[in-house]
Amino acid sequence: MTDYYETLGVARDATPEQIKKAYRQKARQMHPDVATEPDAGEKFKAVAEAYEVLGDERKREIYDRGGDPMGGGGFGGFNGGAGFNGGGFDFTNLVDAMFGQQSSRGPRPRVRRGQDALIRLDLELAEAAFGVTKPLRVDTAVLCPRCNGSGASRGSKPTTCATCHGQGEVTHVQRSFIGDIRTTQACPTCQGYGTVIPSPCPECSGDGRVRSSRTLSVKVPPGVTTGNRIHLASQGEVGPGGGPAGDLYVELNVLNHETYKRDGDNLEMIVRIPMTAAALGTEVEVATLEADLPDPEPDSTSVRVEVPAGTQSGTRIALDGRGVPRLRAGGRGQLVVTFLVETPRRIDDQQRELLRQLAELRDETRPEVSVQKHGRGVFGRLRDAFANQ
């Protein structure tokens, strides 16, 4: 008697799942359409016979007791290409075991949810910092105004497909020496819907939607930055057949500013001061980011900054509460002012004489030069700042 366990390559105590897995592997290897061995057909039938027995709990029990699980008829012979006879073997069960249960899927719905959409919105720095409501033009699919999403012209409606009789799929049977091979595919007449539209809407050609441009108002909260997204539910594309709209995601892009460089919730700016002002000390007035707002609060567009005597290039003064509002934590970051001391390039004779006298008084006519190494200190920050100006 044939050892079915050896044929499938499994142990005698193998579980049904192990037997099914082994059969799938063997069947794929031995299938006549894939294998190149001349006896592939016989090996495939042997594998199928082994699974017919071991895959059935009752037949496996009879076989393990030494009986004839095929009821005396064995596996049967080949019957004119129509399939295997004996034991009620059906080739459809064989395909199901190889590739999983092949149940009918039925027609696919015409009405489906629309796709989500992503669009980019540019913001000025002040808009991102303090929030803004901006118009946004969106080009997307909307409900067809003529058929209201049905896809059919007025006075008509979808009818049952005569090819698949509303099933949405058709089955083809091909005879082979191992039996009937059945393949199922979407109906070519109705494209799998199960219905056809005899008189499509001339506006949307039966899709139930058309392309259109519309303008939305997008509310941007204070403190956003590049890469933040705003989620607008049901503002994306309307689905086929007038289905519910997907969502719209607005990705924000904050443009560079000519004066300020943003660093998280802080703002960086460079202020140039004359050499004499740095040496003697002074007070300067600098503009704040509020100056870019269309309707700023009174006395918010500038701030006075004290410059201590002896200020060097790269000196930084941080002003609390003058930076960017924090998106979720509340409060505001700092406005960091970096001073750049400018040495005059052109001086007249009188100025040159005064500077010479100053140098003599400070004993700096022949100053000793020392080189100090810096990492990303003052000069590194200045280099980055100038690169973004």
Tell me how many degrees the CA angle 77-83-88 measures, rounded to the nearest 5. Answer: 80
> What is residue 270's DSSP assignment?
E
Structure tokens at 110: 């015409």
Q: Does residue 144 have a known ligand-binding role?
A: yes
Amino acid occupying residue 227: G
Q: Does residue 1 have a known ligand-binding role?
A: no
Phi, psi of 316 (to 5 degrees): -120, 135
Comparing CA positions, the residue from 282, 386, 371 lying closest to residue 340 is 386
CA–CA separation, 57 and 220 (whole Å):
65
CA–CA separation, 300 and 322 (whole Å):
9
Structure tokens at 358: 């100053």
Element (H, E) at 185: strand 179-186
Structure tokens at 203: 């506006």
Spatial CB neighbours of 292, under 8 Å, sequence gap ≥ 6: 124, 125, 126
Q: Does residue 161 have a known ligand-binding role?
A: yes
Residue 10: count of CB within 10 angstroms of its CB: 19
Q: Does residue 147 have a known ligand-binding role?
A: yes
Comparing CA positions, the residue from 227, 19, 252 lying closest to residue 123 is 252
Residue 278: strand, helix, or coil: helix
**CB–CB of 86/76 below 8 Å?**
yes
Q: Does residue 164 have a known ligand-binding role?
A: yes
CA–CA separation, 213 and 145 (whole Å):
14
Q: Does residue 145 have a known ligand-binding role?
A: no
Numbered residues of the known binding site for Zn(2+): 144, 147, 161, 164, 187, 190, 201, 204
Numbered residues of the known binding site: 144, 147, 161, 164, 187, 190, 201, 204
